Amino acid sequence: MAEEWLKTDAALARPASRGAKAAVRKMLAMGFQPRGCGVRNLAARKDKRKSPDGIERRHETSAGGVVWRRNGDNLEIVLARPARKDAWVLPKGQPNPKETLIETAVRETREETGLEVTPGAPVGEISYVFSWRDGPGKPLTRIFKKVHYFLMEPRGGSIDAHDHEMDEVRWMDIEEAEHRASYKSDREIIVKARAMLTV
C-alpha cells in the first residue's frame, strides 16, 4: 500500500541508510503517495515499457468528491450524468500542475456539479484499467487509473451551474444513488460514505 511505503518528509528526516533514502525519493518521483494526503506533482505518469501485447501503458491519478447534505431525515448525495453518456457518476477529474489531491477534488467537484464545497475526510480510493486512444490513428494506450474520493459539504452554488462536461446533475437519496450509480467502483465509494455519515 502506498501509505505504508511513504512517510514523505518525516521518512527522510529519520536516520536511515543512503539506500533507504534513495528508495523513498525514487518512489516520490514516481508519484506514489499516502492515501488522502496533499502530496504534489500528481501529473499522469507515462510508463515507457510496453506490455507483452505491445500496448503502451500509462498511470493516472484523479480525485473527486462525495457531496452530501441532510434533507430532513434523509441523507442525500450528488450524482452527475456526463455529456452524451447514459451513466450516473461521482464527480472527479485529473489534477492541474502542482495541485494537491484535495485541491483537485474540490475544483473538479465545483466544476462538474456547480456547487461550492468544503472538503472533509477521505472516503477511499478506487483503481481500474481501461484502454484509450489519444486521437484518431493514435496507438492504443492501456491506462491504469487510481481515483481518491473525499467527503464534501455544499456551501453555495447551484447544480444548474455545472460545466459542459455534464448534461445533468442531481441530488439523490443516498440509497437511490447507490442503485443509480452506473459503476461498481462508484457504488463502493457511496457505501463507504454512507457508513461514515451514519455512525
pLDDT, tens digit only, all 199 positions of the chain:
333 333 333 333 333 444 444 443 444 444 444 444 444 444 445 445 566 667 899 999 999 999 999 999 999 999 999 999 999 999 999 999 999 999 999 999 999 999 999 999 999 999 999 898 888 888 889 999 999 999 999 999 999 999 999 999 999 999 999 999 999 999 999 999 999 999 7
| Spatial distance between the Cα atoms of 139 and 103, rounded to a whole number of angstroms | 32
Grid cell digits, residue 49 = 515499457
Architecture of domain 45-197: Alpha-Beta Complex (3.90)
Alpha helices in the chain (DSSP H): 2-5, 8-13, 18-30, 101-113, 174-180, 184-197
Tell me the domain boundaries of the chain: 1-34, 45-197
